[in-house]
Amino acid sequence: MAKLKVVLMGGGTGLSVLARGLKALPLDITAIVTVADDGGSTGVIRDEMKIPAPGDVRNVLAALSDVEPDLERLFQYRFSEGKISNHSVGNILIAAMNELSDNFGDAIEKLSTILNVKGTVLPSTNTSPILSALHEDGTVVVGESNIPLNNSRIDRVFLTPMTIKPVDDALQSIKDADLIILGPGSLYTSVIPNIIVRGISEAIRNSDAIVAYVCNIMTQKGETEGYSVSDHIEAIHEHANASIVDYVIANTKPITKHISSIYKETGATIVECDEEKLRQLGVDLITHDELIKINEELAVRHNNEVIAQLLYDIVLQETSTIQYKK
């Protein structure tokens, strides 16, 4: 029996952690990763080497790799001193492999072989886009790292140049997919930047795949303050120019345990799950009693083993461990 084909789309830490959870299941995984990041080591290498942002790609490569733990730690190791302070070995290796390859996607493919990656990792595009946001107050903010700094609600994000093309293999993987997973991760700077690459949303609309969105647990300052689950989905639909989400995995329970004071300091609150609005949008809600966990730093995190199984059950249409809210 052929493995089910699953496409992950996003960026940031959320995508890599979910990829690590899904790796244990009998799935053919393709990760399509945003390359619009312009902060930290990634931003420096991107600007100096004139390549797409390597950081999120690096994290997914590490998550899907099947190598000795020491090699993975080396790949993720970040220097602490000197001119290369704050640069990771993985970012430097990606930049070097890009110099030895035909394009950025080719470089990632070669590194995937070296790292024995269980699946396929693709940049959403082989060029280096600039992510900008139009806010409701009329302000236009240029640069992914600058977008959360504006206090006005985001109206729309867009890439420059607008004619930027996706990697061909990304379009083909979407066409062939049984399940497309969006998120988790920053809505406007990790998830949506993939969707707005020219041709990607059209490919999703034309695909026969089930589309599931893993919604964030907490709101994010400068991006989703005051957002409910349906607000997240509506933003995705507006940028895709179509209602593409079939299922959403979201938390419905209050968080009663003590969590980090950082959330209060930054204005982050629990994302409200507005079930009636989801029904109006035609999106099926999936939740689970153990969907979230609180780590040692008192940070709220998804239980990615549970989410991986829920996503697997969606595509298999096995509902024994799923609580459907219709």
pLDDT band at 2 (very low <50, low <70, confident <90, very high): confident
Backbone angles phi, psi at 275, to 5 degrees: -65, -40
Instruction: Tell which residue, 258, 181, 255, has the closest CA to residue 218.
Output: 255
Dist CA 161 CA 127 (whole Å): 10
Burial label for 299, CB within 10 Å (0-12, 13-18, 19+), is middle
What's the total number of domains in the chain? 1
Question: How buried is residue 6: exposed, middle or buried, by Cβ count under 10 Å (0-12/13-18/19+)?
Answer: buried
pLDDT in tens, 287-306: 999 999 998 889 999 999 99
pTM reported for the whole predicted model? 0.93
30 band by pLDDT with thresholds 50, 70 and 90: very high
Q: What is the CATH number of the domain that holds 218?
A: 3.40.50.10680
Q: What is the pLDDT of residue 325?
A: 44
The structure tokens listed for 70 are 């020491």
Provide, rounded to the nearest whole percent, the portion of the chain with pLDDT above 70.
97
Question: Is the distance from CB of 19 to CB of 31 less than 8 angstroms?
Answer: yes
Q: What's the pLDDT at 1? A: 59
Residue 110 has φ and ψ, to the nearest 5°, of -65, -40
Q: Which range marks the domain in which residue 167 is found?
A: 4-325
Q: Match 């035609």 to its residue by tokens.
A: 282
The torsion angles phi and psi of 251, rounded to 5 degrees, stand at -80, 135
